[in-house]
C-alpha cells in the first residue's frame, strides 16, 4: 500500500506569516512530488512540482524535498487570506502512471 501522510489541520497562521505544510510518503522509489491547492467545492489546482532533493521556489511558494527522509514540504511566505484552502500532497509511486494523494491539510490565514 503506497501511502502519503499529511496533518489534517487546520493550520492557522496570521496574514503575512510563513505557513509550513508537511507530507511524508512510504514509497522510497517515488520520483515526482506535487502540491495541489483545493478551494472548497473546486477542482484541485497544481501549484508546485518537485523532482529532486532540495528546494524549489516559485513566487511565494517553496517546495522542499528530502528523499532520504521521504519528506516533502511546502512553505508559503507572506501568507494571504486568499491562501486559505486545503493543500494536497501527491506522489507518483514507482511503476504507477497515476498519483497517490494525502488527505490534505486545511490552511486558514486570518487577516
Binding residues for other proteins, rule: CB under 8 A, are: 4, 31-32, 34, 36, 41-46, 49, 51, 88, 92, 96-104
Residue with Cβ nearer other proteins (5 or 15): 5
Q: What is the smallest separation between the CB atom of 109 and other proteins, expressed in angstroms?
A: 23
Which one, of 26, 45, 25, 27, lies nearest residue 35 by Cα? 45
- Please give the DSSP secondary-structure letter assigned to residue 18: P
CB of 58 to other proteins, least distance (A): 12
Of 74, 64, 76, 58, nearest in space to 16 by CA = 76
User: Minimal distance in Å, beta carbon 110 to other proteins?
Assistant: 25
Is residue 94 within 8 Å of 85, Cβ to Cβ?
Answer: no
- Is 19 or 34 the residue whose CB approaches other proteins more closely? 34
56: cell is: 524549489
Please give the Cα distance from 98 to 70 (Å, whole number). 19
Minimum gap (Å) between residue 32 Cβ and other proteins: 5
Of 89 and 109, nearer to other proteins (C-beta) is 89
Amino acid at each position: 500500500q503506497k501511502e502519503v501522510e499529511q496533518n489534517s489541520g487546520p493550520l492557522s497562521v496570521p496574514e503575512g506569516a510563513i505557513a509550513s505544510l508537511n507530507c511524508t510518503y512510504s514509497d522510497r522509489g517515488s520520483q515526482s512530488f506535487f502540491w495541489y491547492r483545493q478551494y472548497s467545492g473546486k477542482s484541485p489546482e497544481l501549484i508546485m512540482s518537485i523532482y529532486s532533493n532540495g528546494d524549489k521556489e516559485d513566487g511565494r511558494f517553496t517546495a522542499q524535498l528530502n528523499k532520504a527522509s521521504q519528506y516533502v514540504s511546502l512553505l508559503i511566505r507572506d501568507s494571504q487570506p486568499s491562501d486559505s484552502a486545503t493543500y494536497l500532497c501527491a506522489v507518483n509511486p514507482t511503476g504507477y502512471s497515476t498519483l497517490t494523494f494525502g488527505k490534505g491539510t486545511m490552511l486558514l490565514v486570518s487577516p
